[in-house]
Structure formats: C-alpha cells, structure tokens
Amino acid sequence: MEALAARLSHLDPDVEGAIRVVMFYDTLMRRRVDLPALARASAGLAECVTGIRLHSTGRTLRMAPDGREAAPAALPASTTVAVTLDDEEIGTVWLEREGEPGALDDAVLDRLAIAVATVVERYGPARTTMADPALVELVISADGDDAARNRALRLLGFPVDAPIRVAAVRSGVPLEKVGSLICHGRPVKAASLGDVGIILATSVDPVRFPEGVRAGIGAAGCPRRSWQEARTALRFTTARQPVIRYDELGALALLARIPEEDTRANADVLAITSLAADPEDLRTLDAYCATGSVRQAADSLHLHHSSVARRLTQIGKSLGVEVTEPAGLTRARLALALWRLLGE
C-alpha cells in the first residue's frame, strides 16, 4: 500500500493523501476503537474540531486536535457527512474548520462515517430504528412470558424497567423516519406487522407525526396492553384527526368492543353507509359532528353557513334524525364513529 501510494503520488498529489487516510482508519478499526477515540484521532488527523452525533441517542462528541473535548461551538460545521447503517441514516459526522475546507476533508469524513457505523453495529444493539419483526412481535405478544419479553426488550436496546409506549401506524412515510421524528434522541424501534407499522418507544410526541400518517398511541406501561390500545386508537383516526391517543378516547373506546355483526345491523350505521355514497354529504356531516356548530363547520368546509344548514337538513332526513338537535347530534356522532370502526 505504501509503494502504491508513492507511485500514485507522482500522478496526483492528492491520491497519496487519500490512500493514507484510508490506511489511517483501517488501522483504527483493527484496534477496535470506540467512538470517543475515533473522534479524538480524527480531530488530530484533520487538525480541527471533529464531531460525531447519533440520532437515536442524541449523543454528540466534539473533540479538539489536542485530544480534549472541544469548547462550545464557535464555528459552524465546514463539512458534514451522514452516517448510514443498513441504508438508514443514523447520525452525522463533521469538521469545524476555519476558512475553506481542506483538500482531504471529504476523504476524512467519508472514512470516519464508515468507521462510526462499524462501531455502532459492533457494540451493543444496533442504533437503527428498524428492528427484527420477530423481536418486536415478541414484545407485544399476548402469549409471551415476561422473561422472553424482557430478553427481547434488552436485545432491542430498551431498559427492561422503562415504560414502553406503542404506536400503531399506517403510513406512506418510511417507518424509520416516523420513528426518529416522534421520539428524537431516545430509544425507538419499528417494524411492520402485516399492513400496520409498530413503533416501540419510551416516549412519543403526537404532534411530531409527519403529514400523511395515521397513528394510534397506546398508554405507557405494558407493551402488550399498549399495543392493543394503539390498534384500537388507530381505528378511530380520520383525515381530520389522524393521530389519536387511546387515553383521549375515554368511553368511546368501548365502541370498539361491540361485535361487528351488531354494528353492521344497526339502523343508524346503515344510514351512514348509504350517506357515504355522496362524499360531500359525508364531509359535511363529519365537519358538523367534529365542531357541533353550523358556522364552524361552514368555516372548515369553506362554505356559507346557510349552505351547510341546508345540507344538514337533507342529511337529517336521510338519517331519520334531526342532527342539529342535541340528541340527533349524539346519534350521528356515534353512528359515524361506528361506521369508521368497520373500516368502510
């Protein structure tokens, strides 16, 4: 390798430097160094502050060329490279150099990113969000015993004594992206089970779910029970309310226990099924049930309130109830919720 670098240096002075960078990191990997040692060695090689950050833990390392932890950032990152593992971005590495980037900065960061991914994969649970579906299923299974569930949690990187919150997700957005958004800087794992995505996390921020995602969130605690709650909450989600926490449902959660055949046979639910043939009528009823106000429903639909009032009169005749009266509104809300639970 040394002889090759010397020969190539006659053709391109930067080639020898790039090869020496590769050799430098190969040596570090043979020595099985950890992340602080990688950051420290890289800072010495680049002769500037070098940083490493892992998304899943929020951990950040910044080392100065003298081998000590760097002082609070005074310079922005001059060059940044993503760290990927199993095609997922798990972190970033960067250099904080004053002035223009050095000729070999890209080579240094490319090799550093590879080295960081190798270290993360080698030590402890992999810090990728996507997990082995078999392990995730074992955690949420109603049949598994506590010992097996605890082993699965340890393999997934969760403290056994930490409460686990489960989210059931239907999304066109990749699960790993959803997981990193809703539980930034804390342990989070995801897997697909049939047509539903499962996210396990120590905490979930409902407002951070991206657009286009529907999610039900179980209460923290036992993963098995939290998964059941999350699936129930997911069934209640709508385009208007795409993310629902189970504990927000209250008594409405009891509707999910009604046998499907009884729900389908209910006269109010049958009337909603017929009404759903006209999307405009369904949107109008949905807006009114959500607000309980003709004017607020009109505002959300961008219509005049008199137009909405006329529609509601016709809808009431179709349903056989006066939806603008308290009792009729209650029946319409319950019928609409039950119709959605059927997945129609």
* Whether residue 245 is found in the same domain as residue 332: no
Looking at residue 13, its pLDDT comes to: 52
pLDDT at 127: 56
| Single residue among 206, 228, 256 that ends a domain in this structure | 256
Whether 128 is covered by a domain: the verdict is: no
Give the model confidence (pLDDT) of 253-264 as tens digits. Answer: 999 999 999 999
Residues 249 and 276 in one domain: no
Whether 277 and 302 map to the same domain: the answer is yes
The reply to whether 263 falls in a domain is yes
- Rounded Cα distance between 238 and 116, Å, is 41
292 lies in a domain? yes
For residue 97, pLDDT over 50 is answered with: yes
Q: In this predicted structure, what is the pLDDT of residue 266? A: 94
Of the residues 223, 256, 289, which one is the last residue of a structural domain? 256
CATH number of the CATH domain containing 282: 1.10.10.2840
The CATH number of the domain where 20 resides is what?
3.30.450
Domain of residue 174: give its range: 133-256
Of 55, 44, 114, 48, the C-alpha closest to 78 is 48
Q: Using an 8 Å Cβ cutoff, are 235 and 343 in contact?
A: yes
- Distance from C-alpha of 344 to C-alpha of 260, rounded to nearest angstrom: 12
pTM of the prediction?
0.63
CA 104/CA 202 separation, integer angstroms: 41
Q: Which of 7, 37, 29 is nearest to 19 (CA)?
A: 7
Helix, strand or coil for residue 197? strand
Closest CA to 48 of 108, 98, 111: 98
Q: How many domains, in total, are found in the chain? A: 3
Asked whether residue 263 falls in the same domain as residue 279, the answer is yes
Put the strands of the sheet holding 49-54 in their side by side order.
60-63, 49-54, 88-96, 79-85
Q: In one letter, which amino acid is 334?
A: L
